[in-house]
Amino acid sequence: MKTENQTLKIREKNIFICEDHHQVLQFWHPYKDSCPYLLTFDHHTDLHLAFNHYIKHNGEKEKTWEEQQKALLNGIAANDPSAIEKLTHAEHIDAAIKTGIIKKALVYSENSYYGRQDEVYTIDGNSSYAGQNIINNCNYTEMQFLISSETLSTNFKKFELYISKSEWFHNYILDIDLDFFKSTKSFENKDLTFFKNLVDNCIAVSIATEPVFVKGWQEEYDSQLTVEYLLDKILKIIAS
């Protein structure tokens, strides 16, 4: 059974929690007028083209793929729940960029996105940065340990090569997919001030629990890992 979406307010900051990652669009939409950036922590890149899966399996043969995507994106622009439901969990960032909900996305992930759509620039990829609206900072190993201040401050310097921190830092939504964390050891480092600073300076926080993937990490890496554990740790950081 799916967990109900919920919105919390902690220290005057709006927090949205959902199970499937594409559901965050309904929460991001009201911030559209402020042209926010997105900073997302995720194991996966979640950078598939919006509605690609839906059009492939439910498309109208008499219309082009582009025509169908454009019509469906109109529903996202209007914050129509039925349009959001036609997305998969990996298509929400592309939908948000194409409808102007998000100005630019900074994706911090373990998965790489080399050789895919032109809208995405993968740091250390094969092509040159051309001002793309999605910057993927990826390919780190042992991601379960990567929210220590030492590690994050080092890796985030790669973003600085392409976008100044001053450009996005006080106008961004912090988005966290719990499958970013593969182990309870993620929170054992005593210095989490860099991550805490990201929490404190964002305009809002969205959290996707993605229990299927967390369950996979539990079986592969850490038997103590659960959605409840991870959610409790994140909410305590927000509240501290």
Q: pLDDT tens for residues 186-212? A: 888 779 999 999 999 999 999 999 999
DSSP 5-68: PEEEEETTEEEEEESSGGGGHHHHGGGGGG--EEEEEESS---PPTTHHHHHHH--TTS-HHHH
Instruction: Kindly provide the residue ranges of all beta strands, DSSP E only, lying in the chain, ordered along the sequence.
Output: 6-10, 13-18, 37-42, 105-109, 120-122, 134-137, 172-177, 204-208
- Structural domain contains residue 74: yes
Please say whether the beta carbons of 91 and 103 come within 8 A: no
- pLDDT band at 61; cut points 50, 70, 90: confident
- Structural domain contains residue 30: yes
Number of Cβ atoms within 10 Å of the Cβ of 204: 18
Q: Which of 63-67, 110-114, 119-123, 146-150 has the lowest mean pLDDT?
A: 110-114
Q: Which domain holds residue 208?
A: 6-239
Output the average pLDDT for the chain. Answer: 91
pLDDT value at position 59? 81
- Structural domain contains residue 210: yes
pLDDT digits (tens, 9 = 90+) for 16-47: 999 999 999 999 999 999 999 999 999 989 99
Provide the token pair at 37: 């950036």
| Cα–Cα distance for residue pair 68/65, rounded to 1 Å | 5
| Cα–Cα distance for residue pair 173/26, rounded to 1 Å | 13
Surface-to-core class of residue 9, CB atoms within 10 Å of its CB (0-12 exposed, 13-18 middle, 19+ buried): exposed
Cα–Cα nearest to 29, from 88, 73, 86: 73
Mean per-residue pLDDT for 88-114?
Answer: 91
pLDDT value at position 115? 56
- Structural domain contains residue 1: no
Residue 223 has pLDDT above 80, yes or no: yes
- Structural domain contains residue 19: yes
Number of domains in the chain: 1
- Structural domain contains residue 171: yes
Quote the DSSP letter at residue 154.
H
pLDDT value at position 3? 67
| Cα–Cα distance for residue pair 187/232, rounded to 1 Å | 11
User: Does residue 106 or residue 126 have the better pLDDT?
Assistant: 106
| 80 half-sphere exposure, CB direction, 13 A CA radius | 13
pLDDT value at position 142? 60
- Structural domain contains residue 180: yes
Mean per-residue pLDDT for 48-76?
Answer: 93
Q: Which residues are within 8 A (CB) of 68 and not within 5 positions of it... i.e. 6 or more apart? A: 51, 55, 59, 60
- Decide: pTM greater than 0.75: yes
SS3 232: helix
pLDDT value at position 2? 62
pLDDT value at position 5? 93
